[in-house]
Structure 1
Amino acid sequence: MIVITAPTGNIGHQVVDHVLAAGEPVRVIARDPARLPADVRERVEVVQGSHGDARVVAQAFDGADAVFWLLPSDPRAADVDESFVGFTRPAAEAMRGLGVERVVDVSALGRGTPQAGRAGHVTASLAMDDLIAGTGVAFRALTAAGFMDNVLRQLRTIKEQGLFFDVIPPDRELRVVATRDIAAVAARLLLDTTWTGQEEIPLLGPENLSYNDIAAVISDVLGTSVQYEQIPAQALTERLTARGMSGAMVQSMLDMLAAKESGLDDAIVRTPRHVIDTPTTFRQWCEEVLKPAVHATGRQP
């Protein structure tokens, strides 16, 4: 039995699809089972509730061979460490107590770098990994670069204004990875019963891109001018606060972005193995994901 958390999320639903396609029995934890596609609900066992709830994970992990652990975003959390480590603690206890054999989670790059100790969400994510590893379970932490799919959060401004925004300098190259590649690696590990031990699997994407590079690719694929605009941290703070994000989580986000700008994600040298694991280029992602999303929301920008 393979247990998948966050099965309706951007990564989780893709993991579910991969594992079901392989014919393996799947159990999912879902707050709202109605959000699962009807064909998926018919093929999985559903445990309703939050995977931060001790009773829910105890039920879901009973008899599980492998678990896919994906932390849900909580932008209103009062404390970033509690939102990562505190949320995960009941699951870690259930993993240990119920004899779960293998766990795969989605985490972040940066362990061992000077920036890792003050990198907001990333620092908390690495502490979450340590908690899971401390159970003694066979463990693979998928330490991912920034998601290409985050561009979709600014679909409206791209569509209506030909702009997207962040605080990172426009010429600072970053690693970016498609969530579909993350899901494919996760599913492969969940389906493989042979691995043991504990290890981080860096997911870097096939190329480094600056925001100017990203804007140029988007413009070319959409056939219209799209530009990147760097905004000050205060402007981002105001935007995130207006959306309901707590002060603690806003600061955590700013700390993470500052750490990325100063080299948090750069320590690992990309190898051919990394490209094989995460082959989707940003241009390919734009053609196959972003462009259809723009069309689906009406006229192109």
Structure 2
Amino acid sequence: MRIAVTTPNGNVGRPLSQMLVRAGIRPLLLTRHPEQIADDLLPHVDVARADSRNASEVAAATRGVDALYWVDPSAMSEDPLADYARATDALVAGVVENRIGRVVFQSSVGAEKRHGAGEIDGLAATEVALDALDIDVTHLRCGYFFSNLLLDVESLRSGRLQTVLPLDAPMAWVAPRDIAEVAALTLLNREWTGRRVQAVHGPANLSWSQVAKILRQELGRDVTVERISDEAMRRGLIEVGMPDAMADAVLGMSTGLRDGFVPEQERSIVTTTPTSLQAWVREELVGWLTARRARSRT
């Protein structure tokens, strides 16, 4: 079975590629930056240069592929949903032209709304496009990545986090490595067919207040979280350089899932994954912060 993986240097793609290698698969890694693939991984994989928003490059790179793990690349532009649409078009072109029979798509909790969830609407459109093809497809509806805490470095370092969500409203938080594990098992399992939705909810729903408490305990320093207005959040995103439409799309991921949203799949043994936020902080965040401090001194 020939398996291709997009965004292999990402938070999910990197561990997924390693897991497939350990399973005896030689995956094909699709990336715009082949030079960034880890040296120790290179003897065990094939690499093709391809921009996931370029239909001709994706189609050329996926010839002979049986199964594909697809991630819509993050957009940072004046029209992020248009970027998602280009990625969807490239995916469809590769699947149709090369008759790829199985796709595992990294989607998000909230894509089931189809509209009104900001950047997640781009993922929803990809789901719809895949569902229209005569293939076997699994949509991984992932919770909020633990690694998203790294996106606002200064807030994390200062211990002052901000959100537009109610501080005591629980939601699914998940370790990217756990998503990779679910993805690997799904790619390697030949028993499923048709259209599937597989939520990946992490070990427990957490509120922002609980997240702050865990960070205080694990980091040994004060961490607070403040609820701010939608407009204040949007203004802050624009101040750090986001285009207006991008700021709206990022904000919409929170506001669109804030009031009365219920995920299509309930938490169950099927959707629950093992890595706790406490474990992720100890194993990854502490090391990341230590390395960043060391770099700032040199």
The answer to whether the 8 Å contact 1:47/1:59 transfers is no
The 1:293–1:111 alpha-carbon spacing in structure 2 relative to 1, beyond 3 Å, is closer
SS of the aligned residue for 1:3 comes to: strand
1:260 aligned residue (253, 257, 272): 257
Task: Return the alpha-carbon distance in structure 2 between the equivalents of residues 125 and 23 of structure 1.
Answer: 30
| Closer/same/farther in 2, CA of residues 79 and 290 from structure 1, 3 Å limit | closer
Match of 1:52? Answer: 53
How many residues get paired?
293
* Structure-2 change in CA distance of 1:199 and 1:266 (3 Å): closer
Structure 1 residue 201, shift from structure 2 partner: 0.3
Aligned to 1:292, what secondary structure does the other structure show?
helix
Query: Which residue number in structure 2 is paired with residue 101 of structure 1?
Result: 101
Alignment check: 8 A CA contact 1:155 1:294 kept:
no
Residue type of the alignment partner of 1:290 = L
Which residue identity does 2:276 align to in structure 1? T
TM-score by length of 2: 0.92
Is the aligned partner of 1:241 residue 2:238?
yes
Match of 2:169, as an amino acid?
A: R
| Contiguous gaps of at least 5 residues in structure 2 | none
Q: Distance in 2 between matches of 1:31 and 1:79?
A: 19
Is contact 1:175–1:208 with CA below 8 Å preserved after alignment? yes
Q: Does structure 2 retain, via aligned residues, the 8 Å contact 1:12–1:183?
A: yes
* 1:89 aligned residue: 89
Aligned residue number for residue 287 of structure 1: 282
- SS state at 2:283 partner: helix
1:135 is aligned, of 133, 142, 146, to 133
Other-structure match for 1:163: 160
Written as runs of structure 1 = structure 2, the 5 A alignment for 1:92-241 is 92-110=92-110, 112-113=112-113, 116-159=114-157, 161-241=158-238
Secondary structure in 2 aligned to 1:273? coil
Separation of aligned partners in 2, 1:243 and 1:49: 29
How far is 1:198 from its partner? 0.9
Equivalent position of 2:291 in the other structure = 296
Q: Is the 8 A contact 2:203 2:274 kept in 1?
A: yes
What amino acid is aligned across from residue 178 of structure 2 in structure 1?
A: D
Partner of 2:71: 70
Q: CA deviation at 1:157?
A: 2.5
Rate the CA distance shift 1:263–1:21 in 2: closer, same or farther, 3 A: farther
1:39 match: 40
Rounded to whole Å, the distance in 2 between the matches of 1:213 and 1:178 is 16
TM superposition shift of 1:117? 2.4
Q: What SS does structure 1 have at the residue aligned with 2:151?
A: helix
> How far did 1:74 drift?
1.2
Superposed structure 1 runs of 4+ greater than 6 Å apart: none
Higher relative contact order (CA 8 A, sep 6+): 1
Letter in 2 for 1:279: P
Q: Report the 3-state secondary structure (helix = DSSP H, G, I; strand = E; otherwise coil) of the residue aligned with 2:198.
A: strand
1:112 shift after superposition: 4.9
Partner of 2:62: 61
Over residues 199-251 of structure 1, what are the superposed CA-to-partner deviations in whole Å (9 max), with x where a residue is unaligned? 11011112111111100000001111111122222232223223332211211
SS at structure 2 position matched to 1:29: strand
Deviation at 1:102, TM superposition (A): 0.8
CA contact (8 A) 1:176 1:209 kept: yes
One-letter code aligned to 1:215: A
Task: Quote the RMSD (CA, aligned, Å).
Answer: 1.8
Matches of 2:52 and 2:264 in 1, distance apart?
Answer: 32
